[in-house]
Structure 1
Amino acid sequence: MFRVDINDELKLIQVKTNEESKEEILAEGYFIFDEPGHAVLVIFEYINILPEDYCKLGQLLSTFILHLGQHFKSLICLRLPVTFDNRIDFNKLEFKSNISNFMAVKNDNLKHYADRNIESQQDQYVLITDKQLILGFAESLYNILKQEAYWCATLTLEEMKNRINSSAHIAMILDKTYNQPCGYGRLFLLKTNTQLFGYMSDVAINSSHQSKGLGSILINHFVGTFLKKYSELENINGTLCLLCADKGNGAISAPKIYRKAGFEYLNDLGNRIAIFSNRDFR
């Protein structure tokens, strides 16, 4: 019924009717592939289907997201046009997001705390955003992620370096006493004419430095980075998303920190944000 066309050069993606004689573009947008982080961000600029046409919309979403998952073998994060916000009854939609720990927030609800910064811990810690400096600590950061981030259990050192190099924005917290990193995170962004879509990932704090507010400082830094980028643009909407830790040391603390920044689980958001996630590659 539908065909998905991917233009890697233009980063353009289209969903068309699968009838050559009456070909019609039903949805069009742009994507960015974070290959080292195994995530794809997609913004549909328009969809030629009414939000209330649950049958056709569900079929389009199912075809599109499953096709992309198989093509990229990665997490798919899809943002629909903001005109679909508050209009889709997800209970009537055939397609469902399958990731329970996926969280999102719109720019209007993001909470940035000007006083929650590294200066409050200045005697011991410093926040570094210079990519080349961070690369110098790649092996130490690799060890932190292997230990603290269960999703990086199979990560290699070379992949760690690729994660650092490919990031749109990156940050590391350094313990100045021992000149060793103790925190890390990255932010990936996709911008179109109508939206700014961000994905925060790999946020991890070394266990020996946890319960000191460093996770909050790191997340607050990325929220500030996203809002600054958003403020530089005109007449667009912003959405930030992430996968929240749901096991290990961060399973209890991470949801609390993200909620303070304004993030909500998809189940709690209801239909306020027309966003979908999936990582079914089969």
Structure 2
Amino acid sequence: MDAGVAHQPLQPGLYIVATPIGNLGDITMRAAETLARCDGVACEDTRVTGKLMKHLGLSKPLWRYDDHAGEKDRARLVAAMQEKAVALVSDAGTPLVSDPGYRLVRDARAAGVPVTTLPGPCAAIAGLTLSGLPNDRFLFAGFLPNKDKARREALDSAAKADATAIFYETAPRLVKSLEAIDRLMPDREIAVARELTKLHEECRTGTAAELAAHFAAHPAKGEIVLLVGPGASEPAGEHDIDGLLSEALQSAKPSQAAAQVAKATGQDRKALYARALELRSA
């Protein structure tokens, strides 16, 4: 980092800064520069953020902003942003992903405060990349509820989505959540990613029953990303294929319609093209 640049103040506003989820080496150059040039940092836990700032050799005012922050706390921060550059960080990873920062961003935008985001580490995405589960579509659902009924409802909702579901979970509740998944989705492929970017990083896959048995015998430690693969797609019937082709033909040529439906269903493209021509001439 250029020393001259580091000492130049930032323009007033809110800067959303992603921080490491484990390995401090994952801090980006842009994030480090922004933390060096900002006027203060809004953070979940001043002790946690203080360690990061010390690692970077920085000293800035740290303002606590967490789940318990109210409207008055947000109003004070937004007022400060009119004249100061305020960095928003979470304890680890990208702010606003399963934390209350969205309210601060919403109020800042409503007040006409410039908002800038600095992308970086995110445990949900890191877990997805390690899992080997389908990633063309995914559903991030935050922490699973602690109560049995609410957990079952959250899992039931995820089971209906044609996508890989991503949850955050704590080590003491992991086995109980895996057992709940096994009751609802016994055939799904599951991944448990833990200690991401750290020395003992691990991603274990299998059925929920297999993973529950493993972690019951070998209790997990650290923060966990729990991923549930999508269910097997049912092959489309002839009536469904005709419907999909007819819909696609409303705005596409037969060849394009066949390509779209082939990608969606896995059916043979040549056969679909022939059927599209038949429907077009009918």
TM range (shorter): under 0.3
**Relative CO higher for 1 or 2, CA cutoff 8 Å, sep ≥ 6?**
1
Query: Could you say which structure has the larger radius of gyration?
Result: 2
Instruction: Output the TM-score relative to the length of structure 2.
Output: 0.25
